[in-house]
Amino acid sequence: MRFKLIVAMVEDELTDAILEAARHAGSTGATVINNARGEGLKKAHGIFGMEITAQRDMLLFLAEEHRSRHILEAIAQVGEFDETPGTGIAFQLDVEDAVGVKSQIKSLSESSD
């Protein structure tokens, strides 16, 4: 079985909605890393010229290859990444090998039967 790693950097208030959308799209779980920091092309400055950095969450999904694009599209739709600049990004990477996913493989095999 081949896997993809989907990485999403999202505004923390969108995390729960994106996790729910990913689950409905076929995700079997995720890892959430809180307090990530992101910067766009231009740094945002507030009062007195101080730099503003919004909190982000990093969401990691190890997804079966055939489901990964569907999950990625669901994440992008809920996060409105293309419609609203600065809300986040998501991308997927090939996973060469993985261990500790035996139960996920079993669950995926049973759901495709």
Count CA atoms closer than 13 A to 13's CA, side-chain side: 3
- What pLDDT shows up at residue 85? 79
- What pLDDT shows up at residue 9? 93
β-strand partners of 107: none
Residue type, 22: A
pLDDT < 50 regions, the chain? 113
- DSSP code for 13: G
Q: Which domains does the chain have, with CATH numbers?
A: 3-112 (3.30.70.120)
